[in-house]
Amino acid sequence: MALTDTFTKNTKHSGKSGGDKHTDGGGMYLLVNAGGKYWRMDYRFADKRKTLALGVYPEVSLAKARQRREKARELLADGIDPSTAKREEKQAKADAAAHTFALVAREWLAKTAAERADATQNKITSWLEKDVIPFIGDMPISAIGPRDVLAALRKMEARGALDSVHRVKQVTGQVFRYAVAIGAAERDVTQDLKGSLAKAAPGHFAAITEPKQLGDLMRAIFNYTGHPNVIAALRLTPLLFVRPGELRTMEWAEVDLDAAEWRIPGAKMKMKADHLVPLSTQALALLRGMHPATGHGKFVFPSLRTGERPMSENTINAALRGMGYAKEVHSAHGFRATARTVMDEVMDERVDLIEHQLAHKVKDANGRAYNRTAHMPARRKMMQRWADYLDKLRTGAEVIPLRGKVA
């Protein structure tokens, strides 16, 4: 006879050593012993008698136990052992719990760190830790859907970080693709988010490219009053036109004052290749002036708070803002565009030499990439001409306008 809720609730253990069995049909029964009440199901599979645990009463009600029985019977009808299916499901849940988004993301960051410059690694880590992991980090990555990712990205979008939010979406997609590779997820769900985020206004790093305005900027830089380290970094930036992150992490061990060279290791470069920067006499003078102050430490431009870390990434831009140059007018990164434009259009320098010095990939006629020391004598002379040109602009020498424009 089928069991009832009342009977299930009120029945007691009779004291039998093996417990009391109360059947419900279809192989299911309630086992009552001194320890409690347990739902069980007896069945045969591959000519063997087996017992499947369906749960413990009252956590699993009579109705819920019957549902589990019917599911087991369906599996049997399909030739599947319910006990094996239960173990596999339990293992899948354990695997999912062991592969949360946070764990997979951090594993991916560690596995791929050697592919990036330190500054890029730090930026990507910060994005994930601040903008993604707090919202989906505890979820099994296999259970995360497109809407879960979108909800996290929407928070960035709401605060106006339109440039960064698209980068973070790309990085999140890389984490999902890594998860697919290690068997922790089925697919990259960020592919479903195309067109779902607002686009940032097109543009590049703001840069002054008119010689007359560049002369004004150079005078403002030389009139800047602040910390000596900041003054030196600010004056050196236009001379070298490296990326801001490369300048602020400049180390004395990388600088050869006698050879007038700065050798930047590939680990710090965007293109992951070593880069050689010839130092003009003006750049050398600035570095020699810095050496007594910071030469005893690791960084040429150490943090103003502690010498163990490099200068803050916002220091140069903050100095420019203090001089009255808004981010829409000129930026620390913009000195690269300044040099690229003026050296080409005003000074008639060879474009391939400029591209070399910007650490862009330059190939020969056969399509092969030049090495870091290619055309070094010519690049050294070009860097000196550039430094001399900036001095002339600063001191008010005749300004040559851009081609096709009037100064």
How many residues in total does the chain contain? 407
Q: What are phi and psi of 108, to 5 degrees?
A: -65, -45
Q: Which two tokens stand for residue 154?
A: 């929407």
Catalytic residues: 243, 270, 333, 336, 360, 370
- Strands in 275-278's sheet, in edge-to-edge order, are 255-256, 261-264, 275-278
d(CA 201, CA 163): 8
Residue listed under structure tokens 């173990």:
87
End-to-end, the C-alpha distance of the chain in Å comes to: 102
Q: Could you tell me which residues are beta bridge partners of residue 369? A: 363
Count of helices and strands (H, E) across the chain: 16, 7
Q: What is the C-alpha to C-alpha distance for residues 287 and 268, in angstroms, rounded to an integer?
A: 20
Under 8 Å between Cβ of 289 and 301: no
Is residue 276 within 8 A of residue 372, CB to CB? The reply is yes
Residues 6+ apart with CB under 8 A from 240: 247, 262, 277, 279, 283
Task: Give the orientation angle of helix 162-181 with respect to helix 118-127, to 10 degrees.
Answer: 90
